[in-house]
Structure 1
Amino acid sequence: MFAVVKIAGQQFKVQEGQSLYVPHLSGNTGDSIELSEVLFIDREGKIEVGNSVGKVTAEIVADLIKGDKVIAFKMKRRKGFRKKKGHRTQYTKIKITSIA
Structure 2
Amino acid sequence: MIAVIKVAGQQYKVEKDQTLFVPHLEGKAGDSINLDVLFVHADGKLSVGADNKAKVSAEIVDHIKGDTVIAYKTKRRKGFHKKKGHRTAYTKIKVTGIA
Larger deviation, residues 7-16 vs 45-54? 45-54
Larger deviation, residues 82-91 vs 52-61? 52-61
Instruction: Tell me the distance in 2 between the aligned counterparts of 1:6 and 1:94.
Output: 13
Which residue identity lines up with residue 78 of structure 2 in the other structure? K
Query: Per the alignment, in what secondary structure is the counterpart of residue 27 of structure 2?
Result: coil
Q: 1:85 to 1:52 in 2, by over 3 A?
A: farther
Instruction: Tell me the distance in 1 between the aligned counterparts of 2:15 and 2:50.
Output: 18
Structure 1 segments of 4+ aligned residues over 2 angstroms from their partners? none
- Structure 1 alignment gaps of length 5 or more: none
Which residue identity lines up with residue 67 of structure 2 in the other structure? D
Return the TM-score normalized by structure 2: 0.94
Match of 2:21 in 1: 21
- Structure 2 alignment gaps of length 5 or more: none
Match of 1:93 in 2: 92
Q: 1:31 to 1:56 in 2, by over 3 A?
A: same
Instruction: Tell me the distance in 2 between the aligned counterparts of 1:22 and 1:52.
Output: 26
Return the TM-score normalized by structure 1: 0.93
Instruction: Tell me the distance in 1 between the aligned counterparts of 2:98 and 2:15.
Output: 8
Instruction: Tell me the distance in 1 between the aligned counterparts of 2:38 and 2:95.
Output: 16
CA positional deviation for 1:44: 1.8
1:72 and 2:71 are equivalent in the alignment: yes
Q: CA RMSD in A?
A: 1.1
Identity fraction in percent:
65
Instruction: Tell me the distance in 2 between the aligned counterparts of 1:52 and 1:80.
Output: 60
CA positional deviation for 1:55: 1.2
CA positional deviation for 1:46: 1.1
Alignment of 1:1-100 (within 5 A): 1-35=1-35, 37-51=36-50, 53=52, 54-62=54-62, 64-100=63-99
Instruction: Tell me the distance in 1 between the aligned counterparts of 2:51 and 2:72.
Output: 42
Larger deviation, residues 51-60 vs 74-83? 51-60
